[in-house]
Amino acid sequence: MASLNVGEALRILLVSPKEEVRTEIGEALRGRMGEHRLYWVAEPDLALTRATDLIPHVVLVDDDLAGASPVALISQLVAHVPGAILLLLAKADAVATAQQAVLSGARGFVNKPIQPEDLVATLRQLLGQRRGGGGEPEEAENATGRIVAFCAPKGGTGRTILAINTAISLQGIVKRPIALVDADFTTPALDVALNLQGEHNIVDLLPKMSQLDRQLVASVLANHVSGIKVLLAPPPADLSSPISLPQVQQVLVWLRRMFPWVIVDLGLPLDETAFAFLDGADRIVMSVLPEMIGLRNTRLMLDQLYGRGYPDEKVWLILNRSTLPGGVTLRDIEARLRVQVKFRIPDDQPLVTHTINRGVPLVMSHKNSAVARAIRDFASALAQDLTGASGSVVVDEASGVLGRLRKRSTTAKA
């Protein structure tokens, strides 16, 4: 079922062969329905496929489908996307068609030409009824799982290693289940880095988006010896088309219901699929190396994130391999990026490479190493921040923590 969660954009699918109807609906919703996305399919024959992929919250069906039956289409949509609210856009004199549409599963109809106030009032009423009806939507709004997305401006920054070891460290700190998601669909790595031979991955969920439940999601998660659950990415050749934004949102909704913590290892590029993960994240952790090319790319990525409206406190910058010989100094990094580095992880590339090749995370195999201690301190501060703990979290510099989430200056985006 497509459930609308706090902070999620309303997905509306319009089925109409007429572009002027799309324009009319777009104008009616603009500035009146809050955050939403309007999708349009002109061919009725493609409506079922588009709806199954999109998992819309609302489907608007034009009564003039150039020869196709709107009532028959509504019946099919009810079966394929049972959680969606279906509305018929009907001419004022099409009373019989409107009645048949309601009998076939439509929640109502809106007369054409569209009056913006009528359309918006109808949508708000039906969405309000669904939220208050109990069951699935209520469960979704009660979901409190926290999502932390690890990203990087380029490959080779240690993003995946930080995500893996942070997830395992968090589980030891909070004593709660942790899910780790491989969202690098171009160069997936969690299966190798964790020595997992998973038979399932996120692709197994895509054909069943409208039927997702706990059992189905749990069945595709791989079990790691540390106790964390892992949602693997497919081999790139097995992903025939990009995973859509609505599909990402649905997967995240279920993971947040099932796990108190969800860690995402996010690859490049920053396309709409990637932003679906970032939009749903409570914290975005960006890893960077102390070298000039990476800093330039980091500034560009920060501009993208801030340009999308993410608040300062949502984005954490972590300096990996901070003690790299010949690396750019912390002072110069912060001056160039105009952002304070939240944490530093010391350099020990031979150890990191060794643990990757063994498929054993370093916080398990070398728990007393400087790198492992720094990652555990980072995970501890992350847990305190997102669980509302108060007070200072300052430890010695060798452990990597520079300070308790100091605010960036108001000129940081300049």
* pLDDT tens sequence across 166-190: 999 999 999 999 999 999 999 999 9
Do residue 368 and residue 331 come from a single domain? yes
pLDDT score of 124 more than 60: yes
pTM score, two decimals? 0.68
Q: What is the span of the domain harbouring residue 107?
A: 10-139
CB 51 within 8 A of CB 6: no
What's residue 369's pLDDT?
97
- 167-170 CB contacts, 8 Å cutoff, 24+ apart: 167/228, 167/261, 167/263, 168/226, 168/228, 168/361, 168/363, 168/364, 169/363, 169/375, 169/376, 169/378, 169/379, 169/380, 170/261, 170/263, 170/379, 170/382, 170/383
Task: Give the model confidence (pLDDT) of 130-178 as tens digits.
Answer: 554 433 433 444 457 899 999 999 999 999 999 999 999 999 999 999 9
Do residue 85 and residue 174 come from a single domain? no
Give the highest mean pLDDT range of 4-8, 133-137, 180-184, 389-393: 180-184
Do residue 106 and residue 192 come from a single domain? no
In a domain, 385, yes or no: yes
What's residue 389's pLDDT?
40
Q: Which of 80, 109, 139 is the last residue of a domain?
A: 139
Average pLDDT over residues 105-119: 90
CATH number at residue 214: 3.40.50.300
In a domain, 63, yes or no: yes
What's residue 9's pLDDT?
82
Do residue 110 and residue 169 come from a single domain? no
Question: How sure is the predictor about 14, in pLDDT bands with cuts at 50, 70 and 90?
Answer: very high
| Residue 135 vs residue 265, higher pLDDT | 265
Percent of the chain past pLDDT 70, that is, above it, reads 88
Do residue 163 and residue 111 come from a single domain? no
pLDDT score of 304 more than 70: yes
